[in-house]
Amino acid sequence: MAKPLTDQDKRKQISVRGLAGVENVADLKTNFNRHLHFTLVKDRNVATKRDYYFALANTVRDHLVGRWIRTQQHYYEKDPKRVYYLSLEFYMGRALQNTMVNLGLENACDEATYQLGLDMEELQDIEEDAGLGNGGLGRLAACFLDSMASLGLAAYGYGIRYEFGIFNQKIMNGWQVEEADDWLRYGNPWEKARPEYMRPVHFYGRVEHTAEGVKWVDTQVVLALPYDTPVPGYRNNIVNTMRLWSAKAPCEFNLKDFNVGGYIQAVLDRNLAENISRVLYPNDNFFEGKELRLKQEYFVVAATLQDIIRRFKASKFGSTEFVRMDLSTMPDKVAIQLNDTHPALAIPELMRLLVDNEKLTWEKAWDIVVRTCAYTNHTVLPEALERWPVDLFQNLLPRHLEIIYEINRRHMERIGKLYPGDFDRMRRMSLIEEGDVKKINMAHLCIVGSHAVNGVARIHSEIIKDTVFKDFYDVDPQKFQNKTNGITPRRWLVMCNPGLAEIIAERIGEDYIRDLDQLKKLLNFVNDDSFIRDVAKVKQENKLKFSAHLEEQYKVKINPNSMFDVQVKRIHEYKRQLLNCLHIITLYNRIRKEPSKPWTPRTIMIGGKAAPGYHTAKMIIKLITSIGDIVNNDPVVGDRLKVIFLENYRVTLAEKIIPASDLSEQISTAGTEASGTGNMKFMLNGALTIGTMDGANVEMAEEAGEQNLFIFGMRVHEVEALDKKGYDAVSYYNRIPELKQAIDQISGGFFSPAQPGLFKDLVNMLMNHDRFKVFADYEEYIKCQDKVSALYKNPKEWTKKVIYNIAGCGKFSSDRTISQYAREIWGIEPSLEKIAAPDDPR
């Protein structure tokens, strides 16, 4: 039974959490009470927990606003090149604790709330996650914002303020059920509406070619209302901005031409326009060609580009007069990074603004666009690539279709000159795919319209050049780069694992928090018994804390001395949660066969959301919960094996589970996971990795030493060879008795006695059309898991490997990633300088 931490344990002062000076604490208490008073004076006289949370959030926010204003003034004075990170997703999680960490206020706030008789952790739990993302791509954007601010870049995140973020996942009778994420229900203290920067966005209409140029007329207008959220850098007094657009119908919407008696309906129809920012599409690595999604993509791009050009032209802080009328210098002052193809319309939209509005020649405009834009590719899965039907464009964005056709005409002319008569190559490279329905290939648009194209891990960037975009690499090799992903050590170490951050700081100082390469110094402590003991102790404390959380939230008791074996990520066939299931069943069968053997006890936890329309992924969740029902209730097994499905996996749950994990499962088929970033979070938090040579796992093995990870399975070239030869799942089934037993149990209803045929489709897929070759890696995976179990029995040797892993994490800071984007794509130099705080003399 996990014993709860005492008040004293919870509140021990941790140096990496900042100083709790007496004046500091007194000021915080005063401001807290002031905010609480103004909250309550309005209508109530008894404070709720939520009132206390809002008072604390507003107190902390007060420390941001002066720095925020000063940062923006600083940018106007220095006039640096600005970076615009365009993304349809920003998976931010909670803001309160992260803000306290980056401002060095955590200890002071903890002391202040304690003196006021409140528990800060309890107040933090009231904040809703800002779940405006699906997974890796959206969370990467959030880590990048943190690093850009911490490196002093004049950067802006631009996206959509979805009223409903990623759905909340409930598990009912073992099945996923979705419910709407009404995250703004109680208000959001971290955002500030900026109606003065409202922008019109046009849809539909038609194109007129006149003597004065091209006009896009008879359009429907939707207004984009910006909401700004502060993004604090780590203790450098810089606060950048994330600007998210919300859709508003204009006042005259549908009213100018409504028929008699249509007034009420006209007002109700305003919802149609405002639906654009209603809800995040919940697909990860899957393209769904819906008109509303295309509207969202154009909406964010059109509003953002107006803002970019306004800011480029404006002269002084707070001034409305334009001084820079010559747009040819734009690439020297503006960098636009496209987070996947979702904001690809930035390319034709910027062309439209430059050619139609600013009256530049096509050639001049195109030069500006290409030098300004850069594109990050996030996946090679064909079902994830965006291909929009031409007729959807014709209707919704007729001018953009014309522009894309002209971009393609010139592109095809160039390819035709380089490869005369090679019509097959021209067909492959065209932005327009011919077929039953003509489609626009958005990745091709991005490559042609950008000066830099990058993958997100070394192996992924090589795959792009060798396969999917090989034709483009052949003509423009200089465009292609690698930028291996990273994670922010502020949220993913200092904030979520203060115990580990502290014992590291005791050995090598605190500077590693802004310069993660310094973790290499821990190599000096690999054989230091006291450090080994400390690392193991912190892990055990984190496990106890998570065990208590699990008991409280889900009423499940787990053995905190078991190995915590964790796979948390979106549910997808390529991520091979099914391979994990086969290991669970194999382990279960072995324990039942020889119950008296000294098995290494495991608690296997799997968590993640399935896209609501992805039937196979939902069946995988049902299989996991069904296996759990059998395994967890078998008295022969006892507490040597438990299977838990972690409900509603999200940023806030990741912050709890990752520091408590022993084993990280990163088991995608080689060549399918572009990078992964969860893998890095586990590594930084003292878990060992079992994984394939895929994505960033390859570089993790290189940094920590391959002998310090559990690497198994086919390499990319072996997967390709097996594809050529033809993958025959049945042959593995017939050759490997333990595999056959597991599959027969699944298909025979052993795990679903009430519905014996429940999983027949899943088994049929594995046996006859498994694109991700689960059986091909089964044998090596099981053998590798046996090695994991053996090493876990030797805690000292296990912990030494953990230390090698933590010491090898430096490369995987998003500070390193962003420094490379800055120098190699955006043409700017990062800086670790602090700027003056608002209360300092200037």
- Strand-pair category, 480-482 with 192-193: unpaired
Long-range contact pairs involving 278-281 (C-beta distance under 8 Å, separation at least 24): 278/162, 278/163, 278/164, 279/162, 279/163, 279/164, 279/180, 280/89, 280/131, 280/132, 280/133, 280/134, 280/160, 280/162, 280/164, 280/165, 280/166
Residues 637 and 715 grouped into a single domain: yes
Contact indicator for 458, 484 with CB cutoff of 8 Å: yes
Long-range contact pairs involving 31-39 (C-beta distance under 8 Å, separation at least 24): 31/59, 31/62, 32/56, 32/59, 32/112, 32/113, 32/116, 33/116, 35/59
pLDDT surpasses 60 at 14: yes
Q: How far apart are CA 455 and CA 674, in angstroms?
A: 8
Residues 699 and 796 grouped into a single domain: yes
Residues 555 and 407 grouped into a single domain: no
pLDDT surpasses 50 at 539: yes
Q: How far apart are CA 459 and CA 694, in angstroms?
A: 7
Cα–Cα distances in Å, from 363 out to 112, 335, 370, 448, 577? Answer: 61, 19, 11, 14, 50
Helices assigned H by DSSP within 151-269: 263-268
What per-residue confidence (pLDDT) applies to 25? 94
What per-residue confidence (pLDDT) applies to 43? 61
- Span 706-750, pLDDT tens digits: 999 999 999 999 999 999 999 999 999 999 999 999 999 999 999
Residues 69 and 86 grouped into a single domain: no
- What count of other Cβ atoms lies within 10 Å of the Cβ of residue 814? 29
In one-letter notation, the amino acid at residue 221 is: V
Residues 32 and 88 grouped into a single domain: no
In a domain, 839, yes or no: no
Type and span of the H or E element at 646: strand 641-646
What per-residue confidence (pLDDT) applies to 3? 46
Identify the weakest region by mean pLDDT among 294-303, 315-324, 337-346, 753-762.
315-324
- Average the pLDDT over 661-689 and give the result: 98
pLDDT surpasses 60 at 9: no
Confidence label for 13 from pLDDT (cuts 50, 70 and 90): low
Helices assigned H by DSSP within 284-376: 291-313, 330-333, 346-352, 362-372
Record the tokens describing residue 736, joined without a space: 């490997």
Q: What is the C-alpha end-to-end distance of the chain, expressed in Å?
A: 56
Domain span at residue 554? 498-812
281: closest CA among 264, 256, 300, 267?
300
pLDDT surpasses 60 at 411: yes
What is the pTM for the complete model shown?
Answer: 0.96
Q: How far apart are CA 232 and CA 783, in angstroms?
A: 46
In a domain, 413, yes or no: yes
In one-letter notation, the amino acid at residue 555 is: K
- What count of other Cβ atoms lies within 10 Å of the Cβ of residue 99? 22
What per-residue confidence (pLDDT) applies to 41? 62
What per-residue confidence (pLDDT) applies to 342? 98
- Span 329-366, pLDDT tens digits: 999 999 999 999 999 999 999 999 999 999 999 999 99
The whole-chain average pLDDT of the chain stands at 95
In a domain, 372, yes or no: yes
The distance of Cα 839 from the centroid of its chain, to the nearest Å, equals 35
Residues 565 and 677 grouped into a single domain: yes
Residues 60 and 177 grouped into a single domain: no
Task: Answer with the one of 486, 508, 524 that is the final residue of a domain.
Answer: 486
- CATH assignment of the domain containing 701: 3.40.50.2000
CA torsion, ordered 22, 26, 31, 37, to nearest 10 deg: 150
Give the catalytic positions in this structure.
Answer: 378, 569-570, 575, 677, 681
Residues 460 and 533 grouped into a single domain: no
What per-residue confidence (pLDDT) applies to 753? 98
Residues 425 and 535 grouped into a single domain: no
- Average the pLDDT over 605-624 and give the result: 98
Confidence label for 257 from pLDDT (cuts 50, 70 and 90): low
Confidence label for 325 from pLDDT (cuts 50, 70 and 90): confident
464: exposed, middle or buried (Cβ count in 10 Å: 0-12, 13-18, 19+) = buried
Number of domains in the chain: 3
Cα–Cα distances in Å, from 414 out to 443, 467, 472, 767? Answer: 18, 21, 12, 46
Confidence label for 574 from pLDDT (cuts 50, 70 and 90): very high
Residues 523 and 555 grouped into a single domain: yes
In a domain, 51, yes or no: yes
Confidence label for 4 from pLDDT (cuts 50, 70 and 90): very low
Confidence label for 258 from pLDDT (cuts 50, 70 and 90): low
In a domain, 834, yes or no: no
Residues 464 and 527 grouped into a single domain: no
CA torsion, ordered 812, 813, 817, 819, to nearest 10 deg: -140
pLDDT surpasses 60 at 801: yes
In a domain, 380, yes or no: yes
Q: How far apart are CA 75 and CA 327, in angstroms?
A: 19
In a domain, 591, yes or no: yes
- Strand-pair category, 220-232 with 239-248: antiparallel
DSSP 149-178: HHTT--EEEEEE--SB-SPEEEEETTEEEE
- Rounded percentage of the chain residues whose pLDDT exceeds 70: 96
- Average the pLDDT over 89-106 and give the result: 97
Residues 374 and 242 grouped into a single domain: yes
Q: Which residue has 């022969």 as its token pair?
A: 636
Q: How far apart are CA 107 and CA 101, in angstroms?
A: 9
- Average the pLDDT over 56-72 and give the result: 96
698: closest CA among 684, 688, 709?
709
> Angle 157-161-165 (CA atoms, 0-180°, nearest 5)?
110
111: closest CA among 21, 46, 201?
21
Identify the weakest region by mean pLDDT among 12-16, 518-522, 820-824.
12-16
| Exposed e or buried b per residue across 738-750, where buried means at least 16 C-beta atoms within 10 angstroms of its C-beta | bbeebbebbbebb
CA atoms within 13 A on the CB side of 508: 21
- What count of other Cβ atoms lies within 10 Å of the Cβ of residue 401? 21
Q: Which residue has 């995988």 as its token pair?
A: 620
In a domain, 557, yes or no: yes
- Span 125-159, pLDDT tens digits: 999 999 999 999 999 999 999 999 999 999 999 99
